[in-house]
Amino acid sequence: MAHTHAPVDAPTRLRGAGLRVTAQRVAVLEALSQTAHAAVDELHESVQREIPGIALQTVHGIVNDFTTAHVAQRVSLPGASSALYELARGDNHHHVQCIVCGRVEDVECVVGAAPCLTPSDAHGMRIVEAAVTFRGICEDCE
């Protein structure tokens, strides 16, 4: 079962990120806080219960604003039909993904301090993050 985050004080978090507090942003942030990894269409479906008629494009725009403001982060996984989003934790955690059902879980940093991995050749770049996805088969699908 996917882990969910603790309840979030959406207005405070939005103000802290320099974002204007609106009913739509609060609803999307609260929906995101209830799901560990959510696609925009899942967030849209959840928010529609509270704000009927909210457009999918509006939710896309809000998620993009959250990503730019470091309130949320995008998780791109191999073989996924769309990107997933999660609350930004300010760390460099990784993910494990079931190749059968697609379930995604967080994995803490594997070894050492962020970015956890050292590339064989950084091509002159200062590495600031490493994105690792472990892929396997979960117990339910086994």
> Omega before 115 cis (within 30°)?
yes
Tell me how crowded residue 87 is: count the other CB atoms within 10 A of its CB.
19
Query: What is the chain's length?
Result: 142
Q: Which residues contact 100 (CB under 8 A, 6 or more apart)?
A: 137, 138, 141
Q: Is 138 annotated as a binding residue?
A: yes
Q: Is 101 annotated as a binding residue?
A: yes
User: Residue positions in the annotated binding site for Zn(2+)?
Assistant: 98, 101, 138, 141
User: Residue positions in the annotated binding site?
Assistant: 98, 101, 138, 141
